[in-house]
Amino acid sequence: MSREGSRLGSPKRRTFLKTTGATTVGLTGLAGCLGSGGGSNSIRAFLWEGYGPLVKQFEEEHDVTVEVEKATSTNNMFTKANSAPDRYDVVCPNSGYAQRFRDAGLIQPLAKNQEEMINKVPNLTNTFDYFRQGTIQDHLTDSQGRWYGIPPRFGLYGLAVDTKNVDKSKLQSSADLWNHKDAWKSVGIGVNTDPVHSVTHAVRALGYTDMLRGDQMNVSGQAWEETRQKFLELADFTRAMFTSEAQFGRAFKGDSYNVGVGPGRNDVINLIKKGNEQFEFVPPKEGSIGWTEAMLMTKSSQNQDAVQKFMDFFLRPKIGAQLAVSDLAPSTVRDAKEHLTQQEQDLFYIPPEDVQKVIQDKPFKNPQKWKQLMSEFKTRLG
């Protein structure tokens, strides 16, 4: 259920179609510096589910052929791009792992600064400020301030409640998992096996949220010991654990538990769209863990003009709205809301105040201790 796929093995944000076997566009030689140059009218893009219908519209508008390979995890995307660096023009990993692609020499900058980036991709200004500043800007740029890509979509992890059996007013924050723990003993909770989506609720409940920000999630010393003890308390009223979207959905619909700790927002929205209107996603008041896609141009691409147009296309408000509906994942485009019905806004739009509190998904400083804590938690469950 995690898009990065490199923290504790290869977890996935959600289940995707199997990777396609599209014919590779032949790409040879090295691309020009800072996204200069033209190239052919065809590009090969390694993308997540949901882009397909809109890619066709882009092709018709710009007379560019796009061959899409569907991603299953950022880890898999990196492995494929690294093993065949001439294979793609565009890759779209979790933004927190863009540096890994840079360090491996797999991507190239499009612009030397934000001003030049906006000249090349004008619709970048359509995004929420959050996605052009701070952590996301750090993900999309290097130490020299050069820009490598754009952030088309994002998503959240948080809490889920079955409102038929749970008073949702008692679950508005991570801290509420412990503030009202007696209530959860009767309805049961399900816990995500990925610690970034479960253990971090204890971190936030204890007031150590700032330790989750920065380049890595780094909880240490007394804060870690307090986190460990608090998280283990959840085992007393945990009925099950879930790894995949399908596993979460089956258990939640089957009343195995009525509170989900760490599901993806899109997982809950998917259940609602299938008629389970009693379910609700809750973004914790302390801030949700979030992922953001980073659409990047590969170092080997000779099709920079087409790639820039491709990026700009997905930052249009109307296209952003259609992309959100297509894959249940919100657009980073500020005015995409204007192209959504009220019902669609309820499902696919996240208010700016919630966007500002997002804590970006990223690697752990010491992944082994988080993994060990999850093992300890599972042992306590029996």
* DSSP-derived secondary structure for 277-344: TTEEEE--TT--EEEEB-EEEBTT-S-HHHHHHHHHHTTSHHHHHHHHHHHT--BSBGGGGGGS-HHH
Hunting for tokens 């997982």 — which residue is that?
A: 267
Tell me the C-alpha distance between 354 and 173, whole Å: 13
Task: Say whether domain 33-153+293-350 belongs to CATH 3.90.320.10.
Answer: no
Cβ distance 45 to 88 under 8 Å?
A: yes
For 103, the token pair is 């360090």
Contact present, 88 and 19 (Cβ < 8 Å): no
Residue type, 344: E
**Is 157-289+362-381 a domain of CATH 3.40.190.10?**
yes
Tokens of 214: 């920065």
pLDDT of residue 40: 66
Domain map of the chain by residue range? 33-153+293-350, 157-289+362-381
227 close to 203: Cβ distance less than 8 angstroms: yes
CB–CB of 331/321 below 8 Å? Answer: yes
Q: Could you give the C-alpha distances from 304 to 35, 40, 122, 248, 374, in angstroms and in order?
A: 5, 9, 15, 41, 44
pLDDT value at position 39? 55
Over its length of 382 residues, how does the chain's per-residue pLDDT go in tens digits? 445 543 333 334 333 333 333 433 333 333 344 444 455 689 999 999 889 889 999 999 999 999 999 998 898 999 999 999 999 999 999 998 899 999 999 999 999 999 999 999 999 999 999 999 988 999 999 999 999 999 999 999 999 999 999 999 999 999 999 999 999 989 999 999 999 999 999 999 999 999 998 888 999 999 999 999 999 999 999 999 999 888 999 999 888 999 999 999 999 999 999 999 999 999 999 999 999 999 999 999 999 999 999 999 999 999 999 999 998 899 999 999 999 999 999 999 998 888 989 999 888 999 999 999 999 999 999 8
Instruction: For 304, list phi and psi in degrees, rounded to 5.
Output: -60, -40
> Cα 171 to the chain's mean position, in Å?
23
| pLDDT for res 379 | 96
Using alpha carbons, select from 46, 32, 58, 38 the residue that is nearest to residue 111: 32
Residue 190 backbone phi and psi in degrees, to 5: -115, 140
In sign, the C-alpha dihedral spanning 362, 286, 280, 325 is: negative
pLDDT of residue 344: 94
CA distances from 251 to 42, 189, 281, 364, 375 (A): 44, 10, 16, 29, 21
